[in-house]
Amino acid sequence: MLALNHIHKSFGGFHVLDDVSIHIPAGGLVGVAGTNGAGKSTMFAVACGQIAPDAGTVHFLGEDITQLPPRKRAMKGLGRTFQIPKEFGSLSVLENLLVASPRARGESLYSVYFHPKAIRLEEKRIRERAEEVLEFLNLAHVASKSAAGLSGGQKKLLELGRALLLQPSCILLDEPFAGVNPVLIEQLSERILQLNKEKNIAFMIIEHHLEALRTLSNDLYIMDQGKVIAHGDPSTVLDNPSVQEAYMGGIV
């Protein structure tokens, strides 16, 4: 579904990504782990089109999207969340989801003047969809509250909700459990697994919470100093002595 092939990226002569290849199959749950500075977030930025690679290609659903901007990748069904949530704090939780809906008729002045009925019907449908997502994420009880007032874990759920409004086939999650309490980590994990099983949405998850990755992912990549140093079954990879040495000085 999503393939990063032989990606290279340098900044100021420093090689951040060195021949990185990562593949996500349709319906896959792929984890990516590594220490700070390993190149994980840069790899995500390349996958989503925020940064152009110096070499290598990105393919999505069989199409070369290396040159496509982020918005066009999103329209094709490639969503992402951020390590630090970027909610619209002045808007309500529900409104944060509504603005994420793509290709809304109301964004066109022509439609506003000549198709107001169609806009009203579409807005009703989008609102119903957003409310369904909030219910699914257990955020319905805070729908009318300011998004700025959510807890860290709730903001991570809101990020996932906005990605779901795109109706994606693949979502990239950047440290979804960072700063989240254990109860919400369990809840977020359950939602990810449910979306994967019932909606066949593929996920690539960057995370330092190794036990969560061991439980969630069925395929795990380990990065170190801009390279993929191990790949395979999560338990086998995490028990690899070379991975333990690179990741935690021998202790994982």
pLDDT at 239 over 70: yes
pLDDT at 215 over 50: yes
Local confidence band at 252 (pLDDT 50, 70, 90 cut-offs): very low
Residue (of 37, 10, 24) closest to 247 by Cα position: 37
Alpha helices in 49-181 (DSSP H): 70-75, 93-98, 109-114, 116-136, 152-164
The strand pair at 2-11 and 14-24 is best described as antiparallel
Domain membership of residue 191 (yes or no) is yes
67 and 14 in one domain? yes
Tens digit of pLDDT for each residue in 162-210?
Answer: 999 988 999 999 999 888 888 888 888 999 999 999 999 999 999 988 8
**DSSP at 64:** E
pLDDT at 106 over 60: no
**DSSP at 38:** S
Domain membership of residue 238 (yes or no) is yes
Domain membership of residue 160 (yes or no) is no
Put simply, whether the predicted model's pTM sits higher than 0.85 gets the answer yes
95 and 73 in one domain? no
Tens digit of pLDDT for each residue in 78-89?
Answer: 999 988 888 999
Domain membership of residue 235 (yes or no) is yes
For residue 214, the model assigns a pLDDT of: 86
145 and 26 in one domain? no
For residue 251, the model assigns a pLDDT of: 39
Local confidence band at 58 (pLDDT 50, 70, 90 cut-offs): very high
30 and 143 in one domain? no
83 and 7 in one domain? yes
- The whole-number average pLDDT for the span 114-140 is 82
- Count of structural domains, the chain: 2
177 and 58 in one domain? yes
82 and 92 in one domain? no
26 and 95 in one domain? no
178 and 230 in one domain? yes
Residue with tokens 């977020």: 188
Last residue within a domain, chosen from 120, 149, 178? 149
CATH of the domain at 14: 3.40.50.300
Contacts of 41 (CB under 8 A, 6+ apart): 83, 174, 206
CA–CA dist 94, 127 (Å, integer):
8
Task: Kindly write down the DSSP assignment for every residue of 74-111, as one continuous string.
Answer: HHTTEEE--SS----TTSBHHHHHHTT-TT-GGG-HHH
State the chain's mean pLDDT as an integer.
88
Domain membership of residue 163 (yes or no) is no
79 and 100 in one domain? no
183 and 68 in one domain? yes
**Of the ranges 54-63, 100-109, 115-124, 218-227, which one carries the lowest mean pLDDT score?**
100-109
CA–CA dist 125, 133 (Å, integer):
12
Q: Which domain holds residue 109?
A: 88-149
96 and 46 in one domain? no
- The whole-number average pLDDT for the span 131-138 is 94
For residue 111, the model assigns a pLDDT of: 54
